[in-house]
């Protein structure tokens, strides 16, 4: 059985919405939402707490925190 792709939370404080999309669809979903709902303004985004955690993991993996 193939491994299921993780879902990523997308938040839009302007619309007061939260949704989860597969990791491979994050960029397209954000762009489409912001274009259609906010005239291209970057309102929707990946959950900031998750984005911070991912940045920390990448920095640690690259040895930037040593």
Q: Which residues contact 20 (CB under 8 A, 6 or more apart)?
A: 7, 8, 9, 10
18-53 pLDDT per residue, tens: 999 998 999 999 999 999 999 999 999 999 888 888
Q: Which residues contact 40 (CB under 8 A, 6 or more apart)?
A: 34
- 16 contacts 24 by C-beta, under 8 angstroms: no
Decide which of 18 and 2 is more confident.
18
CA separation for the pair 31, 46 (Å, rounded): 12
Q: Quote the pTM value.
A: 0.75
Strands 45-46 vs 17-22: parallel, antiparallel or unpaired:
unpaired
């Amino acid at each position: 059985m193939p491994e299921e792709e993780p879902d990523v939370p997308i938040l839009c404080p302007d619309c007061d919405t939260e949704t989860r999309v597969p990791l491979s669809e994050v960029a397209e979903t954000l762009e489409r939402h912001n274009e259609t709902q906010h005239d291209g303004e970057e309102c929707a985004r990946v959950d900031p707490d998750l984005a911070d955690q991912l940045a920390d993991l990448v920095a640690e993996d690259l040895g930037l925190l040593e």
